Amino acid sequence: MEDKLKVLIVEDEGTIYSMIKEQMNQDEYEFVRARNVSEAIDVYEQSQEEGEKPFDCYVVDLQIDSSGLTEQEMSDFYKREGYAWMKNYIFNSSDKRMNDSEKLNFKKKTIICSKYVSAFEKEYSSRELNGLELISKKPYFEEEVKNMITKICKKSK
Q: How many contiguous H segments (helices) and E segments (strands) does the chain have? A: 8, 5
- CB proximity list for 108: less than 8 A, separation 6 or greater: 131, 152, 155
**Interatomic CA distance for residues 86 and 62, integer angstroms:** 10
Which amino acid is located at 62 in the chain?
Answer: L
pLDDT digits (tens, 9 = 90+) for 97-131: 899 999 999 999 999 999 999 999 999 999 999 99
CATH of the domain at 107: 3.40.50.2300
Sign, CA dihedral 70-72-78-83, equals negative
pTM: 0.94
Q: Which helix (H) or strand (E) holds 145?
A: helix 141-156
Domain enclosing residue 23, as ranges:
5-156
pLDDT of the residue at 2: 67
Average pLDDT over residues 86-107: 89
For the chain, how many structural domains are there in total? 1
Give residue-wise pLDDT tens across range 12-71: 999 999 999 999 998 999 999 999 999 999 999 888 876 778 899 999 999 999 999 999
